[in-house]
Structure 1
Amino acid sequence: MKVPFDKGLIRFYARAGAAFLSLWLFGDLVSETETFLPRAINNIWRCLYVILANFILLEYTLPFIRFTWKRILAGIFLIWMHLMFYSFGLYAWRLIGIGLHIYTPLTTFSDVSEGVQDQMSFSIASILFFGITRHMYNYTKLKQAAQQLRIEKQAAELNYLKSQTNPHFLFNTLNNIYSLARIKSDLAPESILRLSQLLRFMLYETSGAYIAIEQELKIISDYIALEKLRYDESLHINFSYNIEDMKQAIPPLLLIPLVENAFKHGVSETRDRPFVDIHLSVNKRQLAFTVKNSTDTFPDKRPVKENIGLSNLRRQLELLYTNYSLTVQQGDSIFTATLQINLASHV
């Protein structure tokens, strides 16, 4: 049997013992004012004994008892032993205190049984008090463990989603460079250079939980510049922003999926007057990000089917924030994605 013996448990019994003693001292202060000081010393002496007795009962004896014949018989014997501890043992502890001139005998007993009965009220009260507080302690520890497990699970899922997003982003960007290489475009080397800069930034700057919003803007700007190399002057791109504080923190690569989606599933499939319109505003911790792009897909009654980038983004938002909204809308030759986040609602 593994004995639950740790520093946290020792602190618990020390605090529980202090609380139990305080309650008993308060009762003596109210009812026995004249003899309060010797009674307080007596109760401190007795409390040392019952703390140890309750520790052995709750941490050793009760966990030892199991529903097997050997354990049940042993448990009955141990319970009987504890009854002796809480009665005759506490009375003997009183006599030891008297012998050491620590305990002041304020009451005279005619025989041992009367003295034992007098000590039992203190013992029974301690069992009830320590039993209830130990149960509350267990409940709190279990709740904290469940909370920690939930946090670790969410962190693992968030890391998994990020690990999906980065290769997905890289794969799409390599496809762009491949299309330039196929036509032997002179822009292919520049595309590779810009991609290497993006990857270097993503590798060394986005590994933490947060980055400054100005860094996220740089990623978006670099990605737009990389995409521009694929298209001629017919593509119109508008990227504007209104940000109160450029140093505000947001999770890295949170906005790029919407920009990437506009090019991969919008502009690349548009034949007539392609465009991408991006606007970001962050004021008073309220983020609003809107991405509009041209599309040749016309609206119908079916809901918009989300790709892996949008699905991952939606799940990341669920794990990161409690107050947000992400909507996508297919209009007449226009696809609109709108993201709103209360940055103060971070989990």
Structure 2
Amino acid sequence: MKKFSDIRRYELYRWLVPAFWLLNLLQDLVEGAGNFPLRAVNETWLALYISVINYRLLEHALPKLSWKRAGYGFWVLLSYLFAYSIGLFLWRAFGVTLHIFTPLGNPIPIQDRLGALVGYSVAAVAFFAIIRHLYNYIKLKQHAQQLRIVSQQAELNYLKSQTNPHFLFNTLNNIYSLARDKSDLAPESILRLSKMLRYMLYETGEPYIAVEKDLKIIDDYIALEKLRYDDSLRVNFNHDLEDMKQALPPLLLIPLVENAFKHGASETRERPFVDIHLSIKKRQLFFVVKNSTGEPAGDGGFNAQIGLSNLRRQLELLYTDYHLDIQRGDYIFTATLKINLSSHV
């Protein structure tokens, strides 16, 4: 972690130091100062010193200061005050001695020179500190956003891990009822279940799949459910899609279909039905599932099943623009799902 933090600091100062140098050159240009090449060398010499001192102050000295070590902190700050005044003055003189720094303009008294260098140092500290604070703030926000995404992805995977076994459990119950009755339809139902298992194992690992694949799994599930009923069950499944390759989270729609059979048609004694309609146009998904129920609207309240509860939470994690409406009428249950597929998080 420490090495990673050091890398981040080096990345900051790698562009912060040249930015400080360019800012001072720009000031010279604005002020119309002559001998620009020499001033560029002078600014380089001063920026080299002040950048090292600022790095030591902001990244090493200040983070270690505390009220418990007030005496130590006093001497540290005093030493940096010396570095930003006398130290910078001596560094300038050292550059003159090495013929790197070239004095320009009329000579001025030492106290005025020190005052000018102190002002230069204060501006440099302010520049470095402000940019460093903004940089760390942005990085912190990005890190928090990444943590939120990872957390939501973990929750989404958990919801999927709940939904799939729940879905398979209900399907196995259907097959069990056929096997118990020694129905000749049991082998066909097992074959369809194997297809669904293959789909869940090899197709649902990706965050998106083509909607045509989900349509196929819905078709297989409907066919599997119809094996349990006689000809009295009426099922209508139609769709209107602009693009069969439209990307969709896998198994997102199946809970509404499953709920229509398990808690609707299976509890209807007379004329059970399930009507399903899916439309996707201009990235707007419209999914309606209607099914018969065994009770009028006034008989008890509706308790959300695990599939619907998980679906609501998945929608919250996946999209910012969606609406799921559940309506219970007299002997009819309607679930309507609208999603703006462009609003994926």
Cα distance change on mapping 1:49 and 1:337 into 2, 3 Å: same
1:26-47: CA deviations, max 9, x gaps? 2211224323332222112111
- Distance, in Å, in 1 between the alignment partners of 2:285 and 2:43 is 61
- Distance, in Å, in 2 between the alignment partners of 1:110 and 1:172 is 91
In the TM superposition, what is the alpha-carbon distance from 1:113 to its structure 2 partner? 4.6
1:155-304 equivalences in 2 (<5 Å): 155-300=153-298, 304=302
Secondary structure in structure 2 of the residue aligned to 1:6: helix
In the TM superposition, what is the alpha-carbon distance from 1:111 to its structure 2 partner? 6.3
Deviates more, 1:9-18 or 1:318-327: 9-18
1:305-340: CA deviations, max 9, x gaps? 211111110111111011111111111211111111
Secondary structure in structure 1 of the residue aligned to 2:67: coil
- Distance, in Å, in 2 between the alignment partners of 1:22 and 1:185 is 84
Choose which of 128, 132, 135 in structure 1 pairs with 2:133.
135
Counterpart AA for 2:35: T
- Distance, in Å, in 2 between the alignment partners of 1:179 and 1:3 is 61
Q: Is the 8 A contact 1:244 1:282 kept in 2?
A: yes
In the TM superposition, what is the alpha-carbon distance from 1:170 to its structure 2 partner? 0.8
CA-atom RMSD in angstroms:
1.9
TM-score relative to the length of structure 2: 0.95
TM-score relative to the length of structure 1: 0.95
Corresponding residue number in structure 1 for 2:80: 82
Corresponding residue number in structure 1 for 2:24: 24
1:289-318: CA deviations, max 9, x gaps? 111111112112865321111111011111
In the TM superposition, what is the alpha-carbon distance from 1:117 to its structure 2 partner? 2.8
Secondary structure in structure 1 of the residue aligned to 2:316: helix
In the TM superposition, what is the alpha-carbon distance from 1:188 to its structure 2 partner? 1.4
1:78-123: CA deviations, max 9, x gaps? 1111112111221222122223322111256576555433311111
- Distance, in Å, in 2 between the alignment partners of 1:238 and 1:4 is 58
In the TM superposition, what is the alpha-carbon distance from 1:247 to its structure 2 partner? 0.5
Corresponding residue number in structure 1 for 2:65: 65
1:110-125 equivalences in 2 (<5 Å): 113-125=111-123
Moved over 4 A (4+): 2-5, 107-114
Counterpart AA for 2:239: Y
Cα distance change on mapping 1:132 and 1:303 into 2, 3 Å: farther
Deviates more, 1:204-213 or 1:91-100: 91-100
- Distance, in Å, in 2 between the alignment partners of 1:108 and 1:86 is 23
Q: Is the 8 A contact 1:267 1:276 kept in 2?
A: yes
Q: Is the 8 A contact 1:304 1:328 kept in 2?
A: no
Q: Does 1:147 align with 2:173?
A: no
- Distance, in Å, in 1 between the alignment partners of 2:91 and 2:251 is 68
Percent identical: 60
Corresponding residue number in structure 2 for 1:323: 321
Secondary structure in structure 2 of the residue aligned to 1:335: strand
Counterpart AA for 1:250: L
Q: Which segments of 5 or more consecutive residues in structure 2 lack a partner in the other structure? A: none
Q: Is the 8 A contact 1:286 1:342 kept in 2?
A: yes
- Distance, in Å, in 1 between the alignment partners of 2:108 and 2:196 is 91
Cα distance change on mapping 1:282 and 1:82 into 2, 3 Å: same
- Distance, in Å, in 2 between the alignment partners of 1:237 and 1:171 is 22
- Distance, in Å, in 1 between the alignment partners of 2:314 and 2:210 is 18
Deviates more, 1:265-274 or 1:228-237: 228-237
Q: Is the 8 A contact 1:234 1:273 kept in 2?
A: yes
Secondary structure in structure 2 of the residue aligned to 1:226: helix
Counterpart AA for 2:218: I
In the TM superposition, what is the alpha-carbon distance from 1:199 to its structure 2 partner? 0.5
In the TM superposition, what is the alpha-carbon distance from 1:187 to its structure 2 partner? 1.3
Q: Does 1:14 align with 2:20?
A: no
Q: Which segments of 5 or more consecutive residues in structure 1 lack a partner in the other structure? A: none
Cα distance change on mapping 1:3 and 1:262 into 2, 3 Å: closer
Q: Is the 8 A contact 1:212 1:247 kept in 2?
A: yes
Q: Is the 8 A contact 1:243 1:283 kept in 2?
A: yes
Aligned length: 345
Counterpart AA for 2:170: N
